[in-house]
Structure 1
């Protein structure tokens, strides 16, 4: 791959993504819809529409937050946010891995129709081969373009992963006027990178390059702290991201703004400032010296993961404190969630933390633990304090929610339903007929899932495609109303529900642009 010209290769990929989408753009109603009620871009703060901050964690499980049952990791800011706001206990991610989940959030499309349906990686982990992921097409309607057209200032601060350098998919080309953070999600495997991005330019950090995927050298003592010194760096990217968010809020306090604040923690590699680990030094550890699955070696993976989450929590607390200090809190909606379930990668013991709560599964699973997210909404004076909502919702509902708040029309192509009635405790909340997910692993394995609520029954179907079951694999069936842990497969007792699920799995998706994101694909090597 080093022999390829990077700019040409990424340009070809971008053009391919654009070209494949042209047919849909012209024939299937996927063209950008101009909003009927455009707001005046030059509005002053006489515009009383609320600011909106959407905060996304990375690989944070449903049970990793105190407000959702965590007892070992300290999350006082999120716990207070929940006490002052609303817990959404049945809010789902767009996928069970990073890029497709974020694509669903950003474009308002459900997993069966979203452009990006897998982690299609370009380039390598080397700085000089930072090519990003499959980019969003030019002209895509995103939450950024929606809010720009509504007259909002827009920013993405943190992790992107929907288009690398020189592609159509960079944040500045997808509706975000300000961007600071990780452009390529592979670079976010290291929380002490050599650089982040400021808009279209690299922003250097005070770190030497560190390969994010390695083990301790043979013969190194895994119990000796000195063995880990070569992996220490100074400039913590998550702190830089947090600082830029505070700066952005300060500078834009006099006009309506939309901030998508996308932290990369606690995604592996497990890395945190030393001061974050002290409060967890008593944790039991199963040190293997290898960082779990070849991520950066870490001596205390449990303490480090907990420290990452506490740093994330403190950063969120600082955002809320900044809003209060500027008297913006009563005119700012803040939503917090995570992109998918918790990951074993990096070496931490997720059972030690009960990271998925009472749910089955983790990242890369379409069981509840992989897609049900710890979600909190906070808006003092508007959202009732210390409330819980069991309304069933998902990432693709965020776009129409933003449209309602900005007082503009949502794009006609969105698959979402506005959550605003739920957030404001109104009785006119529309509901989805069903929710659909699909997952495509790089080894050719696939999965589908459906949630279908009928009266008091909450049916959940899961279908796994693998080497043994590549054609018409069996469907597992669970009733979440009675079995949230998905332990009892009752498919044989409900053949009529199984037939309904089969039909919905066909109807809920279109063919993806990439062969690897379709269910008839299987790598030849396998």
Structure 2
């Protein structure tokens, strides 16, 4: 009922605020792309000319944050506009409560029926919607089925583990399995998923060129395994010095660094194809394109990716799975001809939960009041922008973590799971203006700032049965599990 009321209000608001031509919205989400892995953000080895062009013709956000340090929760934050202290999905993981027991397919915890997604809001404004790529918020038939969460079309991977293979034997189009014949080999195959996503995206744009559309492109690159086509691999094989990958985890690639760089350039080419078609159809001035990443880069040499060699996180500390800057600060670009001044840079502090109100306002619809976000439209248009009082994250894995951004200050809690009580947890404090690499903990020198940050951690955290994080919550969850088994 609540969902019905919110969507009805959004429809009424859209009716009152309709435009002659609502802009098309293309939201491109890279997978595990580091802050420093694009040419326009400082990368020296990897070629990204098409994405660099978006930055040259649009605005670059240098202090934009993901919703989380790993895949599924960041997508939940993006879709619902709620930070991880409020979001339903706060970590990766498969259902443990039987919520998908009637649907015998692998997949992550589904977002519930009553969640309002950005796709549902945009549909109230007359948008045709598509999600093409990696979903990770519930398989078809579950409550998180993208077709039940506002998307007219879904094509890609429902399950994130399925997306670890870029030459899959099948993908999903809505609730139908689409075979990809010829994908029998591990490092190579006939149809790369990135090429399949690009083809599907181009088809969707052509079919919907007469009406406003929302095209969500959560690509699976450059998430491991390292798999690309010979065309892109050959660009780097002789250019990048190699070091053999001898560790376990994912596929072993004979040219791991070249392969990793090639995947990013392959994705860049897809971005170029989408942009070229938009221009070719005369939709350029009516199309907003957003490019960003779901979290920081993959851990050092896992799968051969080698974040140290590429300096994937730039000057920042931490990688994927960490709430330090390297795990959650992500490269972000927005292009909108005639609205955004070309070649601009913004240091406005923002996050994934801002996209719900931003895209809602752009589309002339009304975002749910429960969102944690603030519309970024003023920043896009070069106007005065309202700022967040603070940003908050929590992550129940990798030792359990919490983080707060308060002005130039950043508070981080690590290894929460080792504490027996909340009172035992230590909070680190960094001044990002003076120390963007989070190298000097100044908590002891700034007790008042530390107290403010810890009070925000208390205020913004709403306990989750699925994802307990504080010691007392974990203890209650363990006791409940024991009682249930008895």
What is the TM-score when the length of structure 1 is the normalising length?
0.84
Match for residue 96 of structure 1?
69
Match for residue 259 of structure 1?
215
Mapping of 1:172-187 within 5 angstroms?
172-187=147-162
Spell out, residue by residue over 1:178-197, the C-alpha distance to the aligned partner (whole angstroms, 9 max, x if none). Answer: 11111111100110111111
Within the candidate set 440, 462, 470, 1:488 is matched to: 440
Instruction: Say yes or no: does 1:329 pair with 2:284.
Output: yes
Distance 2:188 2:43 in 1: 29
Match for residue 159 of structure 1?
134
Distance 1:56 1:157 in 2: 10
Within the candidate set 345, 351, 373, 1:394 is matched to: 351
Spell out, residue by residue over 1:353-403, the C-alpha distance to the aligned partner (whole angstroms, 9 max, x if none). Answer: 110011111000101110001000001111100000011110000010111
Q: SS of 1:100's equivalent? A: helix
Distance 2:411 2:189 in 1: 45
> 1:488: Cα distance to partner?
0.9
Instruction: Say yes or no: does 1:409 pair with 2:366.
Output: yes
Q: SS of 1:121's equivalent? A: coil
Instruction: Say yes or no: does 1:120 pair with 2:74.
Output: no
Change (3 A) 1:32 1:265: farther
Spell out, residue by residue over 1:113-172, the C-alpha distance to the aligned partner (whole angstroms, 9 max, x if none). Answer: 00000001259xxxx964211001013100110011111111111110000232111100
Q: SS of 1:316's equivalent? A: helix
Check conservation: 2:396, 2:467, Cα contact below 8 A: no
Match for residue 307 of structure 1?
262
Instruction: Say yes or no: does 1:190 pair with 2:165.
Output: yes
> 1:467: Cα distance to partner?
5.7
Distance 1:203 1:276 in 2: 25
Check conservation: 1:60, 1:266, Cα contact below 8 A: yes
Aligned-residue RMSD, C-alpha? 2.3
Spell out, residue by residue over 1:192-246, the C-alpha distance to the aligned partner (whole angstroms, 9 max, x if none). Answer: 111111011111112456xxxxxxxxxxxxxxxxxxx764322101110011111
Match for residue 217 of structure 1?
none
Question: Number of aligned pairs?
Answer: 464
Match for residue 484 of structure 2?
none
Distance 2:253 2:5 in 1: 46
Distance 1:162 1:74 in 2: 31
Match for residue 100 of structure 2?
none
Change (3 A) 1:230 1:413: closer
Spell out, residue by residue over 1:318-371, the C-alpha distance to the aligned partner (whole angstroms, 9 max, x if none). Answer: 111111101111111100000000003311211111100111110001011100
Change (3 A) 1:49 1:451: same
> 1:49: Cα distance to partner?
1.0
Match for residue 19 of structure 1?
none
What is the TM-score when the length of structure 2 is the normalising length?
0.91
> 1:39: Cα distance to partner?
7.0
Distance 1:32 1:183 in 2: 29
Instruction: Say yes or no: does 1:464 pair with 2:417.
Output: no
Q: Which runs of 5+ in 2 are unaligned?
A: 97-102, 482-486
Q: SS of 1:336's equivalent? A: strand
Q: SS of 1:462's equivalent? A: strand
Change (3 A) 1:129 1:234: farther
Match for residue 146 of structure 2?
171
Change (3 A) 1:320 1:462: same
Q: SS of 2:133's equivalent? A: strand
Distance 1:431 1:504 in 2: 16
Check conservation: 1:104, 1:114, Cα contact below 8 A: yes
Q: Which runs of 5+ in 1 are unaligned?
A: 1-24, 210-228
Change (3 A) 1:365 1:323: same
Change (3 A) 1:40 1:87: closer
Change (3 A) 1:280 1:399: same
Instruction: Say yes or no: does 1:521 pair with 2:478.
Output: no
> 1:297: Cα distance to partner?
1.8
- Runs of 4+ aligned structure 1 residues displaced above 4 Å come to 39-42, 515-519, 522-525
Q: SS of 1:54's equivalent? A: strand
Q: SS of 1:38's equivalent? A: helix
Match for residue 428 of structure 2?
476
Within the candidate set 75, 82, 107, 2:48 is matched to: 75
Q: SS of 2:143's equivalent? A: coil
Q: SS of 2:410's equivalent? A: strand
Distance 1:57 1:163 in 2: 19
Q: SS of 1:33's equivalent? A: helix
